[in-house]
């Protein structure tokens, strides 16, 4: 049986492929959706973070508008419409 030395013990080579298969499955959890919209993991991370930040700022504008209705009168609806268009354009290049 083939084996390699790991620290002070010998490990059969066959057992090394199980963690590799598990790590490949774990990687697919992170890449399956981004790949489905023609993005890498890093591209998806950046774009989703930007969308999140934009939604956060829009939520703050809505909160201010709730107390001061004369401020940010149409900001939320414009931002949400722009985000919607941007999201629908993704992956359709």
Which pLDDT band holds residue 15 (cuts at 50, 70, 90)? Answer: low
The 10 Å CB-count burial string (b at 16+, else e) for 33-72 is ebeeeebeeeebeebeeeeeeeeeebeebeeebeeeeeeb
Interval 83-93 mean pLDDT: 81
pLDDT (mean) for 56-84: 94
Q: For residues 3 and 9, is the Cβ–Cβ distance under 8 A?
A: no
């Amino acid at each position: 049986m083939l084996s390699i030395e790991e620290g002070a013990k010998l490990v059969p080579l066959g057992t090394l492929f199980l963690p590799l298969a598990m790590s490949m499955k774990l990687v697919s959890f992170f890449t399956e959706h981004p790949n489905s919209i023609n993005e890498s993991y890093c591209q998806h991370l950046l774009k989703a973070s930007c969308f999140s930040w934009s939604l956060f700022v829009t939520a703050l504008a809505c909160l201010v508008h709730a107390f001061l209705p004369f401020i940010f009168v149409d900001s939320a609806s414009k931002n949400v419409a722009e985000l919607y268009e941007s999201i629908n354009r993704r992956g359709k290049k």
